[in-house]
Amino acid sequence: FALYLATLIAEDLQDNSLEHLPGPVLFLDYETSQLQVALRLQGLRKAFGLEGRLLPFFYRYCSQPLASEITEIQRIVAENAIEVIMVDSVGMATGGEQLTEAFVQEYFRALRSLHITSLSIDHRAKSDANNKKASRMAMSTNITRLATSGNCAQSKKMKSCI
């Protein structure tokens, strides 16, 4: 879903009545690989009839908490006039298992220092009772201005999200 939104924003496309401003997008990837993201973007470009066009889309593989890499990310944002940053996913970007309110706050402070729109992707815990992910999500929801959630249904043939 994030790459779908990135394509809409980067190319100023309208789809499903989603309103947005156009601009370059920076995707911070804590979960997959550049190849996987490129293949997904290729499919989206084909679906939108954008084959052969370069999108104003920038990719960064990440393995350290966002706050520890923020200086380099600020440079990328400034040099490329990035308008939107997407982080997949919050768990790794906050430090993974090092869950405290301080780590979550540090993550959002680092995002705020960029002065651009951000989309932070997090995953709902399978069990909300006494679960670290559930606690992180509660902290994240309390800090953000706008939080929304979606559900995914996965079958052997395809994965769909709402």
Task: Give the model confidence (pLDDT) of 105-143 as tens digits.
Answer: 899 999 999 999 999 998 766 655 455 555 545 545 555
Average pLDDT in the 48-63 region?
90
Q: Is 162 helix (H, G, I), strand (E, B) or coil?
A: coil
More confident residue, 113 or 146: 113
Q: How far apart are CA 111 and CA 137, in angstroms?
A: 16
Q: How would residue 66 be classed by pLDDT, with cut points 50, 70 and 90? A: very high
Dihedral of alpha carbons 14, 19, 24, 29, sign: negative
Q: Verify cis geometry, omega within 30 degrees of 0, for the bond prior to 89.
A: yes
Average pLDDT in the 10-35 region?
89
Q: What percent of the chain has pLDDT over 90?
A: 48
Q: What is the 3-state secondary structure (H, E, C) of 86-140?
A: EEECHHHHCCCCCCCHHHHHHHHHHHHCCCCEEEEECCCCCCCCCCHHHHHHHHH
Average pLDDT in the 153-157 region?
49
**pTM of the complete model:** 0.80
